[in-house]
C-alpha cells in the first residue's frame, strides 16, 4: 500500500485478475441481482427488460449514430433542435464494430460493450483503491460503486461504464507512473463523454506538479520527462478532436459544440439553473421534501469531497473527482440526470470504502448486502418508470 499523500508512485507490477477476483465476483453478483429484479418487475408490467436496457433514452441516440452516422436531429415544437452531434463517438464506434463482428444488433452490441466495460471499470476502481488503501478497501469501493441507487445504468447501453473504465485506468496509470498509457486512456475517455475533461485535468495537473517537484527533488517522480510531456500532449486529443470536428461540420467554429448543446438546453452556468430548480421545490409542502433531499444530496457530495481532501487522497484523484462533481452539478439542464452523471466520480466512494474495510467482515457484508437489495429494487422501479434522462 502506498502513502496516500504521495501524488505519484514508482511503477509497481501490473494488477492481476487473481488479486481483483473477489471484487469482480462481488460486482458481478450485485449487477446480476439488479438484472433479476428488473426482469421480475418488468414481467409484472408486461415490459421487455432488454428494451429498457438498450432501446430507450440516450441508448437510442447512440444506436442511431452507429447505424446512420452523424447528422440526425429532432426539431421540437418549441424550436429546440436535438442533434445527435451532442453524443460523443466512442461508444457508437464500438457498437458498430461489435455488430460487424458478431450477429448482434447495434442495441445488443451496446449492451455487450457496457457489460464488458462495467467489469473493466470495476477492476480499474479496485486497482486505484488497492493502490492507495489496500485490497480490502478496493473490494469495498467496487461494491459501493455497484450498489449506488442508479447503479443499473452500469448495465445499460449507455456510456457511463465505458467512460468510468477508461477514467479509472488512466488514473491508475498516472498513480503508477505509466504516463503514455495515462495520456492515451485520457484521450479515449475524451472521445466518450464531455466529462472526459476531468481525466485530462487530472493528467495535466499531476504532470505539472511533478515538473515543479522535480526542481527540488533530483530523483523526480520515476518517469522520464518526455513521457509526462507526451501524456500532456496526447490526453486532450480525443475531446478536442471531436469538438473541433463538430464545429467544422456545423460551421460554428471551435465553439460549435456548445451550440449543439444549447439546442438541448444544456450547458455550464455555474449551478445557477440547478439552484433555481432546487429553490422551486420549496413552493409547496410535498415538493419541499424533494428539495430537502436534493440539498442533503449536494451536502453529502461536498462532505465526501472534504473528507477525500482530509484523507490526503492522491492529487489526480482529487482533481478528477472534483471536476466530475462540478461539471455534473453545474450543468444547466436535465436535473434528473445528475445522479447518473455523478456515477464516474468513484473517488468520492473511497472514504466510506475505507470505513467499511475497517469493520468486521460480517458487518460490512450486511451493510453492502442491504444496499445491494435496495439498489436492485430501486433500479427496477426506476427503469419501469421515469428512467434516466
Q: How many CB atoms lie within 10 A of CB 260?
A: 23
The pLDDT value given to residue 6: 42
260: in domain: yes
Phi-psi region of 316 (alpha: psi -120 to 50; beta: other; left: phi over 0): alpha
Provide the grid cell at 74: 429532432
pLDDT at position 337: 85
User: For residue 178, is it within any domain?
Assistant: yes
In a domain, 1, yes or no: no
pLDDT in tens, 275-286: 888 888 788 778
The fraction of the chain above a pLDDT of 70, given in percent, is 95
pTM above 0.85, yes or no: yes
User: Quick check: 72 pLDDT over 50?
Assistant: yes
Q: Domain for residue 2, yes or no?
A: no
Q: Does 259 fall in a domain?
A: yes
What mean pLDDT comes out for the span 271-275?
81
CA 203, 131, 94 angle in degrees (round to 5)? 55
pLDDT of residue 11: 47
C-beta neighbour count of 4 within 10 angstroms: 17
| Residue 3 within any structural domain of the chain | no
Residue 109, in any domain of the structure = yes
Rounded CA separation 248/251 (Å)? 5
Give the tens place of pLDDT for each residue, 95-144: 999 999 999 999 999 999 999 999 999 999 999 999 999 999 999 999 99
Q: Which residue has the higher pLDDT, 288 or 181?
A: 181
**Domain annotation covers residue 75:** yes
pLDDT for 220 equals 55
Question: How far, rounded to the nearest angstrom, does the alpha carbon of residue 53 sit from its chain's CA centroid?
Answer: 17
Question: Is residue 27's pLDDT more than 50?
Answer: yes
pLDDT at 13: 52
Residue 128: domain span: 17-383
What residues contact 247, with CB distance under 8 A and at least 6 apart? Answer: 253, 254, 255, 256, 257
Residue 236 pLDDT: 98
Domain total in the chain: 1
3-state DSSP assignment of residue 183: helix
CA 89 to chain centre: 16
pLDDT at 9 over 50: no
Q: Is the pLDDT of residue 85 over 50?
A: yes
Q: What is the mean pLDDT of residues 182-189?
A: 98
Residue 69: CB partners within 8 Å, gap ≥ 6? none
User: Which residue from 290, 327, 320 is spatially nearest to 305, judged by alpha carbons?
Assistant: 320
Amino acid at each position: 500500500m502506498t502513502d496516500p499523500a504521495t501524488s505519484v508512485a514508482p511503477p509497481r507490477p501490473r494488477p492481476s485478475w487473481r488479486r481483483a477476483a473477489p471484487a469482480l465476483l462481488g460486482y458481478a453478483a450485485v449487477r446480476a441481482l439488479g438484472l433479476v429484479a428488473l426482469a421480475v418487475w418488468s414481467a409484472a408490467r408486461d415490459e421487455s427488460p432488454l428494451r429498457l436496457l438498450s432501446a430507450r433514452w440516450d441508448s437510442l441516440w447512440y444506436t442511431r449514430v452507429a447505424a446512420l452516422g452523424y447528422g440526425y436531429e429532432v426539431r421540437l415544437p418549441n424550436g429546440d433542435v436535438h442533434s445527435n452531434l451532442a453524443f460523443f463517438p466512442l461508444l457508437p464506434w464500438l457498437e458498430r464494430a461489435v455488430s460487424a463482428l458478431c450477429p448482434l444488433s447495434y442495441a445488443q452490441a451496446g449492451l455487450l460493450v457496457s457489460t464488458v466495460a462495467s467489469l473493466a471499470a470495476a477492476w480499474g476502481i479496485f486497482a486505484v483503491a488497492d493502490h492507495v488503501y489496500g485490497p480490502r478497501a478496493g473490494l469495498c469501493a467496487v461494491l459501493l460503486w455497484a450498489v449506488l441507487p442508479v447503479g443499473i445504468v452500469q448495465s445499460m447501453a449507455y456510456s457511463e461504464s465505458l467512460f468510468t473504465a477508461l477514467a479509472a485506468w488512466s488514473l491508475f496509470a498516472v498513480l503508477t507512473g505509466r504516463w503514455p498509457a495515462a495520456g492515451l486512456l485520457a484521450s479515449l475517455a475524451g472521445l466518450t463523454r464531455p466529462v472526459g475533461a476531468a481525466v485530462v485535468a487530472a493528467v495535466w495537473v499531476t504532470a505539472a506538479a511533478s515538473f515543479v517537484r522535480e526542481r527540488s527533488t533530483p530523483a523526480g517522480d520515476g518517469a522520464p520527462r518526455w513521457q509526462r510531456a507526451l501524456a500532456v500532449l496526447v490526453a486532450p486529443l480525443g475531446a478536442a478532436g471531436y469538438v473541433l470536428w463538430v464545429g467544422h461540420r456545423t460551421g460554428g467554429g471551435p465553439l460549435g459544440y456548445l451550440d449543439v448543446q444549447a439546442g438541448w438546453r444544456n450547458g455550464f452556468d455555474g449551478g445557477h439553473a440547478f439552484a433555481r430548480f432546487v429553490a422551486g421545490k420549496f413552493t409547496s409542502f410535498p415538493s419541499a421534501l424533494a428539495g430537502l433531499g436534493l440539498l442533503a444530496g449536494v451536502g453529502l457530495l461536498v462532505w465526501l469531497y472534504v473528507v477525500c481532501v482530509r484523507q490526503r487522497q492522491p492529487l489526480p484523484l482529487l482533481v478528477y473527482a472534483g471536476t466530475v462533481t462540478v461539471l455534473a452539478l453545474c450543468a444547466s439542464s436535465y436535473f434528473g440526470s445528475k445522479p447518473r452523471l455523478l456515477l464516474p466520480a468513484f473517488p468520492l466512494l473511497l472514504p466510506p470504502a475505507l470505513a467499511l474495510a475497517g469493520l468486521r467482515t460480517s458487518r460490512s457484508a450486511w451493510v453492502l448486502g442491504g444496499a445491494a437489495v435496495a439498489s436492485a429494487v430501486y433500479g427496477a422501479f426506476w427503469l419501469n418508470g421515469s428512467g434516466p434522462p
